Amino acid sequence: MTAAAFDRQSLHSMIDLRTFKGRFESLYGQSPRVFSAPGRVNLIGEHTDYNDGFVLPIAVEQRTFVAAAPRPDTRVIVRSLTLGQTVEFELYQPGPTRRGSWLDYVEGTGCALLERAFPLSGANLLIDSEVPAGAGLSASAALEVAVGYALAALGGTPNPDRLQLALAGQSAEHAYVGTRCGIMDQYISALALRDHALQIDCRSLAYEAIPLRLGTACVLICDTQVKHELAFSAYNERRQQCEDGVREIARQYPAVRALRDVSVAELEGLAPRLPELIARRCRHVINENARTMAAARALKAGKLGHLGRLMSASHASLRDDYEVSCIELDEAVAAIEGEPGVYGSRMTGGGFGGCTVSVLEREVVPRAMRAISERLRSRFQIEPRFFTTNAAAGVAEE
Ligand code: GLA
């Protein structure tokens, strides 16, 4: 299959808006407004966001759509076409948290918006998504941000503040879902710019938009379809280990508030005094911050070879120092690493399964897909899925 044919094929999963609106009308008997927010893939800067560091994600072309119309009361009724389920909640009588269902994301976002003083009213919602769930492309952030925008817009805020939407989504994760995630996923889903990667400073919450000019190269995402159980607990555990590291380091350097404040050179002096495991966790984060800033400069200068080498170093560090990769991700990366036309490849997102992201020449995409598929099929009987993507725009009304 040529790369061009592959691109056309990947467009087939796109949701048809007319049909989607029609389904809303027959379900609720109202004519809806439609909102959508994208999933994301992170080029580099992994597990740095909750350390006040830097990340470099793009929004992918797959989006989550929310059709919405107001209700006369304060109930929110939500039907998911992807899951074939309906849930509902009362805006002003929040239910229990951590139910382990997708209601946590939706109700959590509603509650977080109310806490941020957005006026809200009841709503009928219908959801459909092109973002594969559980693949590490932030389907949950896309859901939170799209629902947040829909509820805020219906409640009378015509152009809701994108950063507040991102923060509300993150609050939903912390308070309702129970993941102590950073801000990257919700931020890029809310604020992404078409054809740009955002270098986000996760401390100041400012970004620099960097044109995604790849010339004859492209971004290839490989969904290994693997999800290891560990992901949820290990994520919170890593965050805790970083906090432990900061506490140790601050004894000597009281100005250090987060690993963001420690330079690569400083860590070298500090590492022998830290417990070995904590030192490795800190080393990943501190080096990854430096790599992310270097990668943003390389992207700006069109130096894809350099960008790719930083991506490969990021993978090795996530595998060896941070220990959030898994054998399937390692093999997907190894299957194409160093091949002609491949600049770099790495796991992306939280880890323990999900996707790899690679930057490579368009003409080698079919060969790369074949190499990864053969490797994963023969070693693990896995059929991976692939997407190429441009950098898409953030949340919007259709
Ligand atoms: C998940 C979290 C993000 C970020 C990444 C790792 O996607 O939601 O906040 O920490 O993992 O970089």
- What is d(CA 135, CA 222) in angstroms, rounded to the nearest whole number? 9
Question: Ligand 1: does its nearest atom lie under 6 Å from the Cβ of 185?
Answer: yes
- Tens-digit pLDDT profile for residues 30-66: 999 999 999 999 999 999 999 999 999 999 999 999 9
Cα–Cα distance, 262 to 286 (Å, whole number): 7
The pTM (predicted TM-score) of the whole model is 0.96
Question: How large a percentage of the chain has pLDDT more than 90?
Answer: 91
Q: How far is the CA of 351 from the centre of ligand 1 (A)?
A: 9
CA distances from 254 to 249, 251, 297 (A): 8, 6, 31
Which among 251, 331, 344 is positioned nearest to 43, based on CA atoms?
Answer: 344
Mean pLDDT computed over every residue of the chain: 95
CA of 184 to the centre of ligand 1 (A): 6
Alpha-carbon distance 379 to 305, whole Å?
29
Mean pLDDT of 157-179: 96
53 lines ligand 1 (CB under 6 A): no
How would residue 2 be classed by pLDDT, with cut points 50, 70 and 90?
very low
Instruction: Assess whether pLDDT exceeds 50 at residue 8.
Output: no
Tell me the C-alpha distance between 154 and 152, whole Å: 6
pLDDT at position 99: 87
Phi/psi zone of residue 256: left (φ > 0), alpha (ψ -120 to 50 degrees), beta? beta
Which residue of 54, 185, 240, 281 sits with most ligand 1 atoms within 8 Å of its CB, as the best mutation to test the pocket? 185
According to the model, what pLDDT value does residue 13 have?
64
Residue in 86, 57, 151, 125 with CA at minimum distance from that of residue 350: 57
Backbone angles phi, psi at 346, to 5 degrees: -160, 160
| 246-293 residue pLDDT tens | 999 999 999 999 999 999 999 999 989 999 999 999 999 999 999 999
pLDDT tens digit string along 95-136?
898 888 999 999 999 999 999 999 999 999 999 999 998 889
Distance 181 CA to ligand 1 centre (A): 6
- Per DSSP, the three-state class of 99 is coil
Cβ distance 123 to 150 under 8 Å? yes
How far is 285 from 182, CA to CA, in rounded Å?
13
Q: How many angstroms separate the alpha carbon of residue 23 from the centre of ligand 1?
A: 34
Q: How far apart are the C-alpha atoms of 286 and 368, rounded to whole Å?
A: 31
* CB count in 10 Å sphere of residue 75: 16
Q: How much is the pLDDT for 300?
A: 98
Mean pLDDT computed over 206-223? 98
CA-based torsion, 84, 89, 94, 95: positive or negative: negative
Task: Return the pLDDT at 3.
Answer: 41
How far apart CA 309 and CA 317 sit, in angstroms, is 12
H-assigned helices in 159-259: 162-171, 184-191, 231-252
Is 44 a pocket residue for ligand 1 (Cβ < 6 Å)?
no
Task: Indicate which atom in ligand 1 lies nearest the CA of residue 184.
Answer: 9
* Structure confidence at residue 67 (pLDDT): 98
Centroid of ligand 1 to alpha carbon of 185 (angstroms): 7
273: buried, middle or exposed (CB in 10 Å: 19+, 13-18, 0-12)? exposed
54 C-beta closer than 6 A to ligand 1: no
pLDDT the model gives residue 393 = 98
Q: Which residue has the higher pLDDT, 13 or 151?
A: 151
pLDDT band per the 50, 70, 90 thresholds, residue 94: confident
Q: Mean pLDDT across the stretch 221-243?
A: 91
Q: Which of 60, 184, 324, 329 to mutate to test the pocket of ligand 1 (most atoms within 8 A of CB)?
A: 184
185 is annotated as an active-site residue: yes
Cβ of 129: how many Cβ atoms within 10 Å?
A: 23
pLDDT band of residue 12 (cuts 50, 70, 90) is: very low
Out of 49, 104, 128, 185, which one is annotated catalytic? Answer: 185
| Residue range 63-82, pLDDT digits in tens | 999 999 999 999 999 999 99
